[in-house]
Amino acid sequence: MKTWKTLLGGLCLCATLGSCTSTTQQNANATAPEINPSDVVIENIMTRRSIRKYKPQPVNRDTMQIILNCGINAPNGMNKQSWEVRVVDNPEFINGVTELFKKANPKAAEDPSFKNMFRNAPTVAFIANDPSYNCSQIDCGLLGGNMMLSAWSMGIGSCCLGGPAAFMRSPEAAEYLKKLGFSEGYELLYCIAFGYPDETPAAKPRDAGKVKFVD
């Protein structure tokens, strides 16, 4: 298991640094091979789970940089790269905005396992989009997908969060949103919790009936 996770992480980094360009060009002219169900990329996608319980240590910044590099290499419309990402692993920031969240949502603090508003994750990525570009939300979604899958390949869990992002956009958290330093015109869209998993959730069923071939 460790081998294929390490391999995929290396592939993401290789693509980011551009050292795989010649191989990619050669492969583009070759006949696509039959996909093996044991392919490491497919296995990574099929085994990834959203993690909502994390160990306390933050993700190493060198590892997060690989994850971020994989994210910004996601496909995006007209190569506009209409996203901005801010990564926070500072406990003072996370705990500070959480205190404001608890004041606004007193019931949250009643849970004895509650530590912070980001599912107790020690590292959080905030993703903002450019609303002036109509495909920006799609671009940001693709970026996040790359980040979460590359993280999983290196043994790091993640969870896409909408509620905490909504609170960050509220007047109560304006000070912390400003600290993220997004460029003028960009708006916080969602955030992703990252950390080392402290749970092994089972897969939830998927409705394959929603996918059909059209003749």
Tokens found for residue 211: 């996918």
Mean pLDDT of 115-139: 97
pTM over 0.85: no
Q: Which pLDDT score, from 0 to 100, does residue 8 have?
A: 42
How much of the chain exceeds pLDDT 90, in percent? 78
What tens digit of pLDDT does each residue of 162-189 get? Answer: 999 999 999 999 999 999 999 999 999 9
Please, what sign has the CA dihedral across residues 104, 91, 157, 170? positive
For 157-189, the DSSP string reads EEEEESHHHHHHTSGGGHHHHHHH-PPTT-EEE
Q: Read off the amino acid at residue 172.
A: E
Q: Which domains does the chain have, with CATH numbers?
A: 2-18+56-200 (3.40.109.10)
User: Of 93, 82, 4, which Cα lies nearest the Cα of 43?
Assistant: 4
The CA-atom distances, in angstroms, between 72 and each of 61, 143, 188 are 16, 6, 17
Q: Is 46 exposed, middle or buried (0-12, 13-18, 19+ CB in 10 A)?
A: exposed
User: Of 201, 175, 136, 152, which Cα lies nearest the Cα of 8?
Assistant: 152
Which are the contacts of 215, defined by CB distance < 8 A and separation ≥ 6?
none
For 41-65, the DSSP string reads HHHHHHH--B---B-SSPPPHHHHH
What tens digit of pLDDT does each residue of 43-81 get? Answer: 999 999 999 999 999 999 999 999 999 999 999 999 999
Q: Which pLDDT score, from 0 to 100, does residue 108 have?
A: 85
Cβ(54)–Cβ(119) below 8 Å: yes
Q: Angle 61-72/2-17 helices, nearest 10 degrees?
A: 60
Least confident span in 24-28, 47-51, 113-117: 24-28
Q: Which pLDDT score, from 0 to 100, does residue 88 have?
A: 98
CA angle 52, 195, 94 (to 5 degrees): 85
